[in-house]
Amino acid sequence: MDKGKRRMKGPFENSLKQLAGVRKIIKMDDNIYAQLQSPQRFLEVSIPVRMDNGSIRVFTGYRSQYNDARGPFKGGIRFHTTVSVSEVKALSAWMTWKTAVVDIPLGGAKGGVIVDHKELSDMELERLSRGYIRAIYKIIGPELDIPAPDVYTDPRVMGWMLDEYEKIVGHHAPGVITGKPLSIGGSKVREYSTAQGAVYALMEGAKKIGLKKGSTVAIQGFGNAGSHVASLLQDLGYKITVVSDSTGTVVNSMGMDMKELKNYKEKTGSVANYPGSEEVGEKNCLTQDADILIPAALEGVITEKIARGIKAKMIVELANGPIIPEADEILEKKNILVIPDILANAGGVIVSYFEQIQNAYGYYWQEQEILEKLEEKIKKAFDEIWENKENYGTTLRMGAYALAVKRVSEAMKDRGWG
């Protein structure tokens, strides 16, 4: 059983534990290590929002700017009830390692608002999105910090946020935010880039351990990333046998049709009880039989207990931080290959970076060109982290951390921060 005390640990503590782990395998300068223990800047804001009934509700929001040694801070904004100081800090640290591991010239940040978006009308959601930007506009900018979508924020929200920022500064600045609608400077592929990047990483991992294309896949979470990865993998010949969302887990060992499942979810609001499948309950997704497991929801879901029950041969972390460090150790002993989040879900920020380049030039690329560039970036990073894993005799996560932290440290030293 997991110990209650351990379960209390926040995501930021877990991210620091991962950093301490990498410190053991690479020679990390003490001065650098000390600076990597906390964000460079952390802002907490109150956002008063006029509700449709005339009352004012005050929401709490955050922006954590972890490290900008390699370039402007970069990272999404999450609208969720579980947003907390610890979560936002952890996510901003993970963004720092993510941009470094795929070698794009950006730092790491993250933002969030504590809100249940389902309780808000469209007008209230727009006022909250604009209010968040009014609260943080002084610390963001195309060359300072560039937000993007994350859990429960989407292109529409990015459109409102961009508009609010441009109204405040009085000129166009499309590069201040990525994941925008195409009509106002968004990039092709961005909508499914996180999933696409995960597919490229998954295929590299599958080659290493000899998994065939007809392999079975379990996906936890059927939001933007989860549903896109499901369709992309089905098109490639993988069999999606397990899918869950916050209401249930559906299982069919013959594989399910993702188009039909998406339509079903659109109609009913959830995947639960999808006809022709067995409903096993939301909590039981991660330990079902499947060759590949893709957690695509929130952090901290794979605890020690869950790790012991996992049957998959490979885990692809489409969510940020789904595996706690103690569970990682168990998975390593069980010889399960974990493709770490900072590579597996980096497709989103890579295409965000491409979006910024297109914004800076005012010239927009075709879908194929972006896909080729994305694939190249993921494959190169995969090879590099695999090399680090072999060289240090460690896990793929620690191989990725070694590479990322070395890159961030080098930039910090070159700036004279060492």
Rounded CA gap, 78 and 157, in Å?
11
Residue 92 in contact with ligand GLU, rule: CB under 6 A: no
Residue 150 in contact with ligand GLU, rule: CB under 6 A: yes
Task: Give me the 164-193 binding string for ligand GLU, x by CB under 6 A, dash otherwise.
Answer: --------------x---------------
Rounded CA gap, 349 and 140, in Å?
17
Residue choice 320, 356, 359, 394 for contact with ligand GLU (CB under 6 A): 320
Torsion angles phi and psi, residue 199, rounded to 5: -65, -45
Judged by CB under 6 A, which stretch of 201-209, 244-252, 343-351, 361-369 contacts ligand GLU?
Answer: 343-351
- Which residue number, 83 or 211, has a Cβ lying nearer to ligand GLU? 83
* Closest distance of CB 307 from ligand GLU, Å: 23
- Which residue number, 75 or 159, has a Cβ lying nearer to ligand GLU? 75
- Tracing tokens 């579980």 back to the chain, one arrives at 82
Which one of the listed residues 74, 110, 239, 377 is annotated catalytic? 110
Residue 76 in contact with ligand GLU, rule: CB under 6 A: yes
Spatial neighbors of 263 by CB under 8 A, at least 6 apart, are none
Give the count of beta carbons closer than 10 Å to the beta carbon of residue 115.
24
Total length of the chain:
418
| Pairing mode, strands 73-74 and 145-146 | parallel
Residue 314 in contact with ligand GLU, rule: CB under 6 A: no
Residue choice 21, 61, 75, 340 for contact with ligand GLU (CB under 6 A): 75
Judged by CB under 6 A, which stretch of 73-81, 131-139, 253-261, 306-314 contacts ligand GLU?
Answer: 73-81
Residue choice 72, 226, 322, 348 for contact with ligand GLU (CB under 6 A): 348
* Closest distance of CB 396 from ligand GLU, Å: 18
Supply the DSSP symbol for 86: H
- Which residue number, 178 or 287, has a Cβ lying nearer to ligand GLU? 178
Residue 352 in contact with ligand GLU, rule: CB under 6 A: yes
Alpha helices in 41-190 (DSSP H): 85-101, 122-136, 155-169
The CA–CA distances, whole Å, from 197 to 66, 99, 233, 342 equal 24, 13, 12, 11
* Closest distance of CB 150 from ligand GLU, Å: 4
Rounded CA gap, 354 and 358, in Å?
6
* Closest distance of CB 74 from ligand GLU, Å: 5
Q: Which two tokens stand for residue 11?
A: 């995501």
Residue choice 135, 292, 349, 381 for contact with ligand GLU (CB under 6 A): 349
Residue 377 in contact with ligand GLU, rule: CB under 6 A: no
Residue 296 in contact with ligand GLU, rule: CB under 6 A: no
Q: Is 114 helix (H, G, I), strand (E, B) or coil?
A: strand
The answer to whether 110 is a known catalytic residue is yes
Cα 328 to chain centroid, rounded? 18
Residue choice 14, 92, 234, 345 for contact with ligand GLU (CB under 6 A): 345
Judged by CB under 6 A, which stretch of 2-10, 255-263, 347-355, 371-379 contacts ligand GLU?
Answer: 347-355
- Which residue number, 107 or 205, has a Cβ lying nearer to ligand GLU? 107
Rounded CA gap, 263 and 255, in Å?
16
The CA–CA distances, whole Å, from 81 to 59, 105, 115, 176 equal 11, 32, 5, 26
* Closest distance of CB 305 from ligand GLU, Å: 26
Residue 148 in contact with ligand GLU, rule: CB under 6 A: yes
Residue 205 in contact with ligand GLU, rule: CB under 6 A: no
Spatial neighbors of 213 by CB under 8 A, at least 6 apart, are 206, 236, 237, 238
- Which residue number, 310 or 408, has a Cβ lying nearer to ligand GLU? 408
Residue type, 212: K
Q: Within a 13 Å sphere around the CA of 373, how many CA atoms are in the beta-carbon half? A: 21
Site size for ligand GLU (CB under 6 A)? 11
Rounded CA gap, 160 and 156, in Å?
7
Residue type, 181: P
Q: Which helix (H) or strand (E) holds 64?
A: strand 56-67
Q: Which residues are at the interface with ligand GLU (CB under 6 A)? A: 74-76, 148, 150, 178, 320, 345, 348-349, 352
Residues annotated as catalytic (active site), given as ranges: 110
